[in-house]
Amino acid sequence: MKCAVVFLLALSVPRLAGAQTPYDLLLKGGHVIDGRNGIDAVRDVAIKDGKIAAVAANIPPTQATKTIDAAGLYVTPGLIDIHVHGYHGEKGTAYAGGPLGVPIDAFSLRSCVTTVADAGSSGWRNFDDFKARIIDKSKTRVTAFLNIVGYGMGGGTVEQNLADMEVKPTADMALKHKRVIVGIKSAHFNGPEWAPYERAVEAGTIANIPVMVDFGSARVRTIKELFERVFRPGDIYTHAYAGGGRGELIDGKVNPAIFAAQKKGIVFDIGHGGGSFVWQTAVQAFKEGYYPDSLSSDLHVTSMNAGMKDMTNIMSKFLALGMPLKDVVGDMEPGEGDQARTAGQPVGRGACGGRGAAAREREVRFPRSARRAPRRHPETRL
Ligand SMILES: [Zn+2]
């Protein structure tokens, strides 16, 4: 079977001095998968000034300064990862300017990801630092879910402090950076209270952006109540295929509250992470038709060195689960009305004016480290 590996990012291709060709770069003969524009066929893709300038059946190489033979490669719009942790630093703690976040550019572009959303690493107290040091300096387009906790994802007691979960400063900061802050995040809360989620939704309502929730570890709260009472349509439940301890599975079957929530318009995000993707949950979910709305990595120091690796590895797992390639790619493209991935700005479009990424096919065996996997296509890997 085929495999795709990151091959090229068409982000910035310097033109040769004196070149008279209309395009800087031509990707010739690749298989373009672009759900937004309804393309699933072999096409030529021309790039000018770092943007997709033309997609057509035949663009002559004479029209480009440089041509790359993309035959046998998949060419897709730049992928979007809506759950990463990129607020790394020396002065903070955990994911909030501490050692657990990663430099985004070092891990995104090489796996076809051109846009990310940081999932709550910063809160309103340290967002300015995150923006100045990292968001504004990254080649990857970095957006952010702002943590309802003022100090963000600082770990330990920082994330349990209800007094630092304030609606107004959080909403104010989101409104101040409308095209960068695309959502509000609540995560890692271990208490029985509902306040973190209620306040996150309150701030999200004021700023008119979605809320993403990692539902913490207190088992007295149910996802049914979260979906029915707290969440609005468009809000995001991340770690969708975790171990079932939050109620994703009941007696080995998918919780009916999830199907009701999907009907309500709640978004289910993978957020793979270091331990938030469990094969048994995924297999049962696919068996019953509980599919994710978005594939995302939960990229951080631990996950990238554990079973997550990178986005193409996650995509491979969904191929192994039986998801068609165009759907795997499609779950990472901006869709019409898809607030989770398009909030605030147009991103990653494959047509004219957007960014592109290409991937190469080759034959690779699926790693044995995919433990407990009832593998359906074990030889397929991206
Ligand atoms: Zn996370």
SS3 145: strand
pLDDT at 299 > cutoff 70: yes
pLDDT at 365 > cutoff 70: no
Query: Separation of 84 CA from ligand 1 center, angstroms?
Result: 6
Sign of CA dihedral 241, 214, 199, 236: negative
Query: Separation of 70 CA from ligand 1 center, angstroms?
Result: 35
Token pair for 140: 């990857």
Please report the pLDDT score of residue 243 as a whole number: 83
8-112-285 Cα angle (round to 5): 145
What is the identity of the amino acid at 77? P
Q: Poorest-confidence range of 47-56, 159-168, 181-190?
A: 47-56
Region 63-84 average pLDDT: 92
Q: What is the DSSP letter of 254?
A: E
Rounded distance, CA 174 to CA 194, Å? 22
Query: Separation of 183 CA from ligand 1 center, angstroms?
Result: 14
Query: Separation of 296 CA from ligand 1 center, angstroms?
Result: 10
Beta strands in the chain (DSSP E): 4-9, 23-34, 39-48, 51-56, 64-69, 73-77, 79-84, 113-123, 141-147, 181-186, 211-213, 236-237, 249-250, 253-254, 267-268, 356-361
Please list the alpha-helical segments (H only) found in 194-338: 195-207, 223-225, 256-264, 279-288, 301-304, 311-320, 325-330
Query: Separation of 98 CA from ligand 1 center, angstroms?
Result: 14
Rounded distance, CA 228 to CA 6, Å? 40
Q: CATH number for the 4-77+354-361 domain, one of 3.30.530.20, 2.30.40.10, 3.30.465.10, 3.40.50.970?
A: 2.30.40.10
Query: Separation of 89 CA from ligand 1 center, angstroms?
Result: 17
Query: Separation of 218 CA from ligand 1 center, angstroms?
Result: 17
Sorted by where each begins, the domain ranges of the chain are 4-77+354-361, 79-309
pLDDT at 15 > cutoff 90: no
Q: Quick: pLDDT tens for 114-149.
A: 999 999 999 999 999 999 999 999 999 999 999 999
pLDDT at 374 > cutoff 50: no
Query: Separation of 213 CA from ligand 1 center, angstroms?
Result: 10
Region 267-286 average pLDDT: 95
Q: How confident is the model at residue 334 (pLDDT cuts 50, 70, 90)?
A: low
Q: Poorest-confidence range of 25-29, 174-178, 374-378?
A: 374-378
* Mutual angle of helices 167-176 and 195-207, in 10-degree steps: 30
Query: Separation of 85 CA from ligand 1 center, angstroms?
Result: 6
Full-model pTM: 0.85
Rounded distance, CA 147 to CA 207, Å? 13
Q: What is the DSSP letter of 227?
A: I
What is the identity of the amino acid at 56? A
Matching residue, tokens 């903070």? 92
Query: Separation of 87 CA from ligand 1 center, angstroms?
Result: 12
Query: Separation of 369 CA from ligand 1 center, angstroms?
Result: 22
Sign of CA dihedral 242, 317, 34, 110: positive
Query: Separation of 185 CA from ligand 1 center, angstroms?
Result: 10
Q: For the structural domain made of 79-309, what CATH number should be given?
A: 3.20.20.140
Query: Separation of 221 CA from ligand 1 center, angstroms?
Result: 20
CB count within 10 Å of CB 109 equals: 19
pLDDT at 372 > cutoff 60: no
The residues facing 161 across adjacent strands are none
Rg (CA), the chain: 21
Query: Separation of 123 CA from ligand 1 center, angstroms?
Result: 14
Rounded distance, CA 181 to CA 212, Å? 12
pLDDT at 370 > cutoff 80: no
Please report the pLDDT score of residue 86 as a whole number: 98
Residues with CB under 5 A from ligand 1 (ion): 119, 298
pLDDT at 63 > cutoff 80: yes
Please report the pLDDT score of residue 335 as a whole number: 53
Region 15-34 average pLDDT: 82
Is the fold of 4-77+354-361 the same as that of 79-309?
no
Rounded distance, CA 94 to CA 90, Å? 10
Please report the pLDDT score of residue 188 as a whole number: 96
Please report the pLDDT score of residue 380 as a whole number: 62
pLDDT at 107 > cutoff 50: yes
Rounded distance, CA 268 to CA 293, Å? 5
